């Protein structure tokens, strides 16, 4: 059972994101408890369905996984203890907190009433923000106070998945655990600007969180290649869906890797190949179609309201552009300082830190 803990933890987070999004995309209110229960159920089902290899090296590897995840999580939490608020003063942080606030108050996806204030964030994939709202509701505190703990958990789990990938690739080697730990240091924490500073300074919250699901999907592919178990491909598909809803740009490498793996497994029968393709690509295709359909419907409403239908104006508007940027940013600034006191405090704190540097 302990050897399946990494599967359950990653699948629970991904399942919660997908469940909350499916609730919201249908027009229903987001129920945090139900979304978390569905995510937990998905994690339990997958961890019971997946068959791992030799239990002795698997148990040793998962012991290292638990120690590494706990160590990284403690180190990250100490950086902002006791406030546990996201550091940094970049504008991206403000935008993410605004979207979290709207989702927390309305329990629905962004509508026309909030689109004027959010700008380009109204069309942002809200996977991470939904997870933050669910975590805040379950903890009984404001959602913006769990932003940093949720991100710290994703980074810690990502480090643990890198260890598992390296251990899987070095299966049978006596020195696989030291090499796997060295891989975490070289791949993740040597380039600090990409792995940690992305959310500590630049405010790239969604990008950093989505890396967990991409790396976990690669781990699922590595295990599927060695076992050909359909449950591993289903795990990869769930990670792909969570990746798309969090930061869709990262889903490309995962989909390409899954396609190459399927095409390279020549010993598979046609039925097994189709089943693996459905498990691996089906969840990604479903959430992608739902999201793009919702965006197209939003574009039709914009055209029916009398806005220009020229393609370059629509593209610029979808990216947050405006013909009168001063008015749009002025409205956003007024709404920000009147209705989001926590975001105002973060902006002032970031300005103060930059002044004393």
What is the per-residue pLDDT across 178-212, written as a single tens digit (0 to 9) for each?
A: 777 887 777 777 777 766 777 777 778 888 899 99
Res. 80: pLDDT tops 90: no
CB 86 within 8 A of CB 205: yes
Residue 158, burial from CB neighbour count under 10 angstroms (0-12, 13-18, 19+): buried
Q: Is 243 exposed, middle or buried (0-12, 13-18, 19+ CB in 10 A)?
A: buried
Range with the poorest average pLDDT among 104-108, 145-149, 300-304? 300-304
Q: Which residues contact 324 (CB under 8 A, 6 or more apart)?
A: none
| pLDDT score for 97 | 86
pLDDT at residue 326, rounded to an integer:
41
pTM, 2 dp: 0.78
Q: What is the CA radius of gyration of the chain?
A: 21
**Which pLDDT band holds residue 64 (cuts at 50, 70, 90)?**
confident
E strand intervals along the chain? none
Distance CA 57, CA 172 (A): 9
Low-confidence winner among 31-45, 105-119, 331-345 (lowest mean pLDDT): 331-345
- Residue 181: predicted pLDDT: 80
| 132-161 average pLDDT score | 91
Maximum Cα–Cα distance across the chain: 68
pLDDT value at position 50?
A: 81
The winner for highest mean pLDDT among 85-89, 99-103, 211-215, 326-330 is 211-215
Give the per-residue pLDDT at 23. Answer: 92
The confidence score (pLDDT) of residue 354 equals: 46
Query: Where are the alpha helices (H) located in 141-269, listed in sequence order?
Result: 147-169, 176-184, 192-195, 197-200, 205-227, 230-246, 251-264
Residue 279 is predicted with a pLDDT of 93
Exposed, middle or buried, 230 (CB in 10 Å: 0-12/13-18/19+)? Answer: middle
Banded pLDDT at 297 (limits 50, 70, 90): low
Q: What is the mean pLDDT of the chain?
A: 78
45-49, 86-90, 177-181, 183-187 — most confident range: 45-49
Tokens of 217: 């999907």
**pLDDT at 329 exceeding the cut of 70:** no
Residues 169-179 have a mean pLDDT of: 72
By percentage, how much of the chain surpasses pLDDT 90?
Answer: 32
Q: List, in sequence order, every beta strand (DSSP E) within 205-272.
A: none
Tell whether the model's pLDDT for residue 28 goes beyond 80: yes
* Residue 160 pLDDT greater than 60, yes or no: yes
Least confident window among 39-48, 60-69, 283-292? 60-69
Alpha carbon distance 57, 54 (integer Å): 6
Most confident among 6-15, 203-212, 295-304, 315-324 (mean pLDDT)? 6-15
Q: At what angle do helices 5-25 and 230-246 cross, to 10 degrees?
A: 50
Give the pLDDT confidence score for residue 215 in this predicted structure.
Answer: 92
In the predicted structure, residue 337 carries a pLDDT above the cut 60: no
Above 80 in pLDDT, residue 113? no
The string of pLDDT tens digits covering residues 245-282 is 999 998 999 999 999 999 988 888 888 899 999 999 99
Choose among 324, 327, 286, 282: nearest CA to 307: 324
Distance (Å, whole) CA 140 – CA 123:
28
Residue 3's pLDDT band (boundaries 50, 70, 90)?
A: low
């Amino acid at each position: 059972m302990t050897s399946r803990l990494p599967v359950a933890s990653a699948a629970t987070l991904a399942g919660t994101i997908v469940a909350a999004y499916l609730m919201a995309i249908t027009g229903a209110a987001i129920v945090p408890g139900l979304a978390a229960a569905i995510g937990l159920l998905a994690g339990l089902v997958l961890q019971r369905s997946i068959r791992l290899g030799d239990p002795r090296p698997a148990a040793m590897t998962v012991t290292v996984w638990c120690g590494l995840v706990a160590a990284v999580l403690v180190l990250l939490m100490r950086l902002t203890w006791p406030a546990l608020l996201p550091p940094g003063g970049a504008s991206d942080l403000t935008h993410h907190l605004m979207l979290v606030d709207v989702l927390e108050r309305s329990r629905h996806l962004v509508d026309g009433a909030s689109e004027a204030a959010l700008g380009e964030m109204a069309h942002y994939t809200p996977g991470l923000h939904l997870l933050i709202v669910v975590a805040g509701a379950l903890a009984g505190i404001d959602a913006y106070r769990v932003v940093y703990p949720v991100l710290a958990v994703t980074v810690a789990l990502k480090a643990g998945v890198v260890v598992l990938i390296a251990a899987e690739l070095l299966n049978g080697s006596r020195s696989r655990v030291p090499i796997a730990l060295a891989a975490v240091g070289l791949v993740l924490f040597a380039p600090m600007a990409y792995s940690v500073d992305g959310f500590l300074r630049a405010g790239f919250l969604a990008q950093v969180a989505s890396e967990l699901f991409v790396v976990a999907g690669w781990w699922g592919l590595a295990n599927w290649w060695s076992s050909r178990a359909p449950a591993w491909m289903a795990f990869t598909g769930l990670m792909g869906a969570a990746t798309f809803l969090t930061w869709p740009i990262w889903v490309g490498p995962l989909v390409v890797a899954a396609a190459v793996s399927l095409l390279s497994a020549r010993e598979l029968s046609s039925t097994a190949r189709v089943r693996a393709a459905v498990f691996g690509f089906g969840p990604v295709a479903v959430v992608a179609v739902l999201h793009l359909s919702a965006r197209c419907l939003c574009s039709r409403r914009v055209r029916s309201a009398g806005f220009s239908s020229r393609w370059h104006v629509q593209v610029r508007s979808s990216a947050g552009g405006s013909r009168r940027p001063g008015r749009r940013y002025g409205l956003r600034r007024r709404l920000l300082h009147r209705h989001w006191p926590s975001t105002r405090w973060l902006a002032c704190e970031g300005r103060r830190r930059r002044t004393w540097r």
